[in-house]
Amino acid sequence: MAIPEMRTSPWIKVRNSKIHGKGVFAAKRIPKGTRVIEYLGDRISHAEADARYEDHDPNDNHTFLFIVDKKTVIDAGVKGNAARFINHSCDGNCESVIEQSRVFIETTRVIEAGQELGYDYEIGREKDDPPNVDEIFACRCGSPKCRGTMLWPAKRPAPKKSASKKKATRSAKAAPRTAKTAPRKGKSAPRKGKSAPRQGR
Ligand SMILES: [Zn+2]
């Protein structure tokens, strides 16, 4: 059975955010575990997303691409709804949930009226990332747990040679977690998820 589309939501309002541009805020108290809104937009292939943003400024992280799976990317820059304005947070009060190849934003704790919604974008790292990639995706979420970047893992994995020593300690955290939550916010040649393992959590 198809899940009904959730283009709008009585739970939220869009207004300017201290974190970045516009943000999404609770219009009233939202209980934990509430499905707030669907992340909508043009559903396209990775190849189409790449072509569409080929000329995108690499220093601008502001696009609205969300990887659903190996086949599909949602471009909320086209036919998108308010979900595209939900900012990244390293310690967010929401998470993205993929169901029937669609993306829904759900609360992971109670959100009081007026509080901003956020979830962890967990943007995957890639070999061809520009050297200033952490600058481009710098995080200013303000959480005490802020890791300073929207990318995951927080640090660039060490080069292979030196990494061998630390293999055991690195492995758990270094494994790319995403797919589920990584919006492709951004990069000029958006390839997130194509090369990185994206089995989700
Ligand atoms: Zn942060």
Percent of the chain with pLDDT over 90: 59
Q: What distance in angstroms lies between residue 90's CA and the mean position of ligand 1's atoms?
A: 4
- Given a cut of 70, whether residue 162 has pLDDT beyond it is no
pLDDT confidence tier of residue 20, bands split at 50, 70 and 90:
confident
Q: In what order do the strands lie in the sheet with 73-75?
A: 42-44, 73-75, 65-67
Domain 12-174 has CATH 1.10.8.60: no
Write b or e for each residue in 91-102: b if 16 or more Cβ atoms lie within 10 A of its Cβ, otherwise e: ebbbebebeeeb
Q: What 3-state class would DSSP assign to 48?
A: helix
What is the whole-number distance in angstroms between the Cα of residue 5 and the centre of ligand 1?
30
CA 114 to ligand 1 center in whole angstroms: 20
Q: Give the mean pLDDT of the chain.
A: 81
Expressed in angstroms and rounded, the spacing between residue 21 Cα and the centre of ligand 1 is 15
Instruction: Please report the pLDDT score of residue 153 as a whole number.
Output: 86
Query: How remote is the CA of residue 186 from the centroid of ligand 1, in Å?
Result: 17
pLDDT digits (tens, 9 = 90+) for 107-134: 999 999 999 999 999 888 888 888 899 9
Q: What is the DSSP string of 107-170?
A: ESS-B-TTPBPEE---EEP-TT--TTHHHHTB-----TT--SBSEESSSPPPPHHHHHHHHHHH
Q: Give residue 79 CA to ligand 1 midpoint distance, Å.
A: 28
Distance 4 CA to ligand 1 centre (A): 32
Q: How far is the CA of 68 from the centre of ligand 1 (A)?
A: 23
What is the 61 CA–ligand 1 centroid distance (Å)?
Answer: 15
pTM of the model: 0.77
Q: What is the residue extent of each domain of the chain?
A: 12-174
Residues 26-32: contacts with CB within 8 Å, 24+ apart?
Answer: 26/111, 26/112, 26/113, 26/114, 26/115, 26/116, 26/117, 27/113, 28/113, 29/110, 29/111, 29/112, 29/113, 30/107, 30/110, 30/111, 31/107, 31/110, 32/107, 32/108, 32/109, 32/110
pLDDT tops 80 at residue 39: yes
Residue 88 scores a pLDDT above 70: yes
